[in-house]
């Protein structure tokens, strides 16, 4: 009988992370993934506490591959650990964990909602977190605006993200949307929704590019429309509908968002475009 080469065992160990990655990608059952993550499937040592991945690192894989059941398990059972900063092999930034930004980048709306729900149970919630290898200090809300994800914008704002957060250059999420508009000079549906969603959650409009509006009113009027241009330029008050929604949305608790938004006794046409799914699992009609 041929003897086993010790190098083969080392190769097997090196392949375990790849096996775990593929298992998450293939949406294997939660119990199987947890066995693999804690190495109980592969090793017989008494100390089963040694893990291939922490819950935080496993959650990143769940986000990338949209493994909703696994993300829910990790967040409900290991809330603190799942939302902690991952190891250096996943995130070299000194900032806190990048899960929110990752969920925004990959447009994982359901998992984003789970993370935001769990963040309310932690003392220092994630809404202002800055990471995901973003050197300019942009928050997940900046990223949602950069990628034109209006649903993520609503979810982040409704759960307490600040619309006035600034990156290292002093740009707010509103500046990011305006930059997108200036770059293409076309008001697409996604840009309109992101812009409107932001304004509904920011009764006081503050942004760095206001000087640009003053210097080139003709161009900005064409891009934004006359009424929106005048409002952002500080030349007229907010339209009545917008002002009303700004007042209403200030009264909603982040802990019950977005259900509290659905339950408002107002026409759906007045609510923010690109509404997320409710916590009850389906969108209200």
What is the CATH architecture assignment of 17-262? Alpha Horseshoe (1.25)
**For residue 185, pLDDT beyond 70:** no
How high is the pLDDT of residue 285? 37
How high is the pLDDT of residue 44? 47
How high is the pLDDT of residue 63? 97
- pLDDT tens-digit map of 194-206: 999 999 999 999 9
Percent of the chain's residues with pLDDT above 70: 76
How high is the pLDDT of residue 277? 59
| Count of CB atoms situated within 10 Å of the CB of 284 | 13
3-state per-residue secondary structure call for the chain: CCCCCHHHHHHHHHHHHHHHHHHHHCCCCHHHHHHHHCCCCCCCCCCCCCCCCCHHHHHHHHHHCCCHHHHHHHHHHCHHHHCCCCCCCCCCCCCCCCHHHHHHHCCCHHHHHHHHHHHCCCCCCCCCCCCCCCCCCCCHHHHHHHCCCHHHHHHHHHCCCCCCCCCCCCCCHHHHHHHHHHHHCCCCHHHHHHHHHHHHCCCCCCCCCHHHHHHCHHHHHHHHCHHHHHHHCCCCCCCHHHHHHHHHHCCCCHHHCCHHHHCCCCCHHHCCCCCCCCCCCCCCC
How high is the pLDDT of residue 283? 43
How high is the pLDDT of residue 272? 73
* Structure tokens given for 208: 């760095």
- pLDDT tens-digit map of 251-268: 888 888 878 887 888 777
Q: Where along the chain do its domains lie?
A: 17-262
Average pLDDT, the chain: 81
- pLDDT tens-digit map of 5-47: 544 444 455 567 788 999 999 999 999 999 998 875 454 444 4
């Amino acid at each position: 009988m041929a003897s086993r080469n010790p190098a083969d065992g080392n190769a097997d160990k090196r392949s375990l992370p790849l096996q775990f990655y593929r298992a998450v990608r293939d949406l294997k059952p939660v119990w199987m993934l947890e066995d693999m993550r804690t190495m109980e499937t592969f090793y017989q040592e008494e100390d089963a506490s040694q893990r291939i991945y922490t819950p935080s690192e496993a959650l990143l894989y769940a986000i990338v591959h949209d493994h909703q059941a696994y993300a829910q398990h990790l967040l409900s059972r290991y809330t603190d650990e799942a939302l902690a900063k991952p190891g250096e092999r996943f995130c070299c930034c000194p900032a806190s964990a990048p899960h929110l930004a990752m969920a925004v980048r990959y447009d994982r709306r359901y998992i984003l909602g789970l993370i935001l729900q769990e963040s309310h149970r932690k003392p220092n919630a994630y809404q202002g977190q800055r990471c995901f290898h973003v050197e300019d200090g942009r928050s997940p809300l900046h990223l949602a605006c950069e990628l034109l994800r209006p649903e993520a914008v609503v979810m982040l704002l409704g759960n307490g993200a600040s619309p006035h957060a600034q990156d290292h250059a002093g740009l707010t999420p509103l500046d990011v949307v305006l930059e997108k508009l200036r770059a293409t000079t076309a008001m697409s549906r996604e840009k309109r929704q992101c812009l409107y969603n932001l304004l509904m959650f920011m009764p006081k409009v503050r942004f760095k590019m206001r000087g640009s509006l003053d210097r080139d009113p003709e161009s900005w009027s064409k891009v934004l429309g006359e009424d929106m241009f005048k409002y952002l330029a500080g030349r007229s008050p907010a339209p009545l509908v917008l002002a009303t929604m700004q007042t209403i949305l200030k009264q909603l608790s982040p802990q019950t968002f977005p259900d509290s938004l659905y339950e408002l006794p107002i026409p759906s046409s007045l609510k923010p475009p690109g509404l997320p799914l409710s916590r009850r699992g389906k969108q209200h009609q």
